[in-house]
Chain A
Amino acid sequence: MTPELTVLALAGLLQVLQYVLMSVPANMELGVGKTASPRDRERLGGAIEDLLSPKTARLLRALNNHFEGLILFTLAVVVVTLSDQSTPFTATCAWAYLAARVAYVPAYYFGLSPWRSVIWFVGFGATIAMLISALI
């Protein structure tokens, strides 16, 4: 297993962890009656994100943001691995991606500005670097 594949599995687990981190407080705040309902806006009185406390809403946005990042990162890992282009550079990029995505969650939760944006950019840049290194 290449280091990139290991990181991909860990990034998937991070996403699972982010799910738990968000859904536990969300269920406590809204109650299972609301979260288990079909979540129709007219019944809930708005979009579900607007009903959450600010910090839980941050965890939800961090989760949704990681979906976007993870889909692009998956593609980069698949291409690098299947075309046998794994190098120490792409492995470093993969670990940098994971470190950034881990740090992103508390940075968002605690509202660390501008660090959340800086950290996001590190993860995005690492993904792009992997894509470009597979291209050339």
Chain B
Amino acid sequence: MLTSELSILLIYGLVTAITLGLKTTGMMASIDMGYLLSSRDETRTLQGMLGRLDRALNNSVVALALITPPILIIALRDQSSAQSLLAAQVFLAARIVYLPAYVLGIIGVRTLVWTGGFLATLVLYFLAL
């Protein structure tokens, strides 16, 4: 399953969707449904771990938007190589570790794995070019 860049992208998409589902579930547990179902005209800031999960999700979506182009290019041009596969695997592993590191507030680890995921993305761009 982890043997092609495309399937890694697919799994990362599911991880991001699950993160979004967790955030929504957390909001339903901590904020009244009336507000959630309304048009949310007053801004409410998410507190504590839920706030962290929200920021982690936003960061994951940005990472997803950045990783999709090189993976698409590599797949369309049949440029897959051992290096590109490894970079995609490093990206996925780093982004998965990022989520608990953020939610549990593990200082240092979060920044470290974020950097790992970002560098893996850059490597994929270089390989795509």
Contact = CB atoms under 8 A, between A and B. Distances in A.
B112 to A, nearest CB: 25
Contact of B43 (A50, A72, A76, A128): A50
B6 interface: yes
Nearest to B75: A82
Contacts, number: 71
B40 A72 contact: no
A131 B37 contact: no
Interface string B57-78: 0000100110010011001100
B22 interface: no
A75 B37 contact: no
Given A71-B64, A113-B37, A78 B14 contact: no
Interface of B: 1, 6-7, 9-14, 16-17, 20, 36-41, 43, 61, 64-65, 68, 71-72, 75-76
Given A67-B61, A113-B39, A128-B14, 6 more contacts: A54-B39, A61-B40, A82-B75, A116-B37, A131-B17, A135-B1
B37 A78 contact: no
A57 to B, nearest CB: 7
A117 B17 CA distance: 16
Interface of A: 49-50, 54, 57-58, 61, 67-68, 71-72, 74-76, 78-79, 82-83, 108, 111, 113-114, 116-117, 124, 127-128, 131-132, 134-135
Chain A interface SS verdict (over half) = helix
Given A71-B64, A75-B64, A131 B75 contact: no
